[in-house]
Structure 1
Amino acid sequence: MKFGRRAMLRLTACLGVATAVRFLGPDPVQAPGRYPSGSPPTAAGPRATAPVRASAYRLRPMTAYAPPSSALARPPVRRRPFLRMAGTGRGMVLTFDDGPDPRYTPAILRTLRRYDVRAMFFVCGEMAVENRDLLREMADDGHVVGNHSWSHPLIPRLSPGGIRSELGRTSEIVERTVGDAPDWYRAPYGAWNRRSFEIGAELGMEPLGWTVDTLDWREPGTRAIVRRVREGAGPGVVVLSHDAGGNRQQSVAALRTYLPQLLDEGYRITVPGTAPRA
Structure 2
Amino acid sequence: MQKDHLLTRRRALLTGAATLGAAGLAVALSPVTGNRAAPPAPPAAGAQAARRPLQPSAYRLRPLTGYGTPRTTGRTPVREEPLLRVDGRGRTMVLSFDDGPDPRYTPHILDTLARYDVRAMFFVCGEMATENRDLLARMADEGHVVGNHTWTHPLLTRLSRRRIRSEMERTCDIVEKAYGERPEWFRAPYGAWNRAAFRIGAELGMEPMAWTVDTLDWTTPGTATIVDRVEDGAAPGVVVLSHDAGGDRSQSVRALRAYLPELLDSGYHLTVPRRQYA
Please give the range of the TM-score, normalised by the shorter of the 2 chains: 0.7 to 0.9
Instruction: Flag the structure with more relative contact order, 1 or 2, with Cα contacts below 8 A and sequence separation at least 6.
Output: 2
Partner of 2:78: 77
Structure 1 position 241 matched with structure 2 position 217: no
Q: How many Å apart are 1:186 and its aligned residue?
A: 0.2
Q: How many Å apart are 1:86 and its aligned residue?
A: 1.7
Distance 1:165 1:19 in 2: 26
User: How many residues in Structure 1 have an aligned counterpart in Structure 2?
Assistant: 212
Structure 1 position 155 matched with structure 2 position 156: yes
Is the contact between residue 88 and residue 236 of structure 1 (CA under 8 Å) also seen in structure 2?
Answer: no
**For the aligned residues, what is the CA RMSD?**
1.6
Distance 1:142 1:87 in 2: 19
Using structure 1 for the length normalisation, give the TM-score. Answer: 0.74
CA offsets 1:144-189 (integer angstroms, 9 cap, x no match): 0000000000000000000000000000000011221000000000
Is the contact between residue 76 and residue 277 of structure 2 (CA under 8 Å) also seen in structure 1?
Answer: no
Q: How many Å apart are 1:85 and its aligned residue?
A: 1.2
Q: Which runs of 4+ in 1 moved over 2 A?
A: 18-24, 274-277
Distance 1:169 1:275 in 2: 24
Q: How many Å apart are 1:228 and its aligned residue?
A: 0.2
Using structure 2 for the length normalisation, give the TM-score. Answer: 0.74
Distance 1:101 1:275 in 2: 30
Q: How many Å apart are 1:275 and its aligned residue?
A: 4.7
Gaps of 5+ in 2: 1-22, 30-73
Partner of 1:195: 196
Taking a change above 3 Å as real, the CA distance of residues 132 and 19 of structure 1, as seen in their structure-2 partners, is farther
Partner of 1:97: 98
Q: Which amino acid counterpart does residue 134 of structure 2 have in structure 1?
A: D
Partner of 2:180: 179
Partner of 2:132: 131
Structure 1 position 20 matched with structure 2 position 25: yes
Distance 2:152 2:277 in 1: 28
Q: How many Å apart are 1:78 and its aligned residue?
A: 0.4
Gaps of 5+ in 1: 1-17, 25-72
SS at match of 2:146: strand
Identity level (%): 69
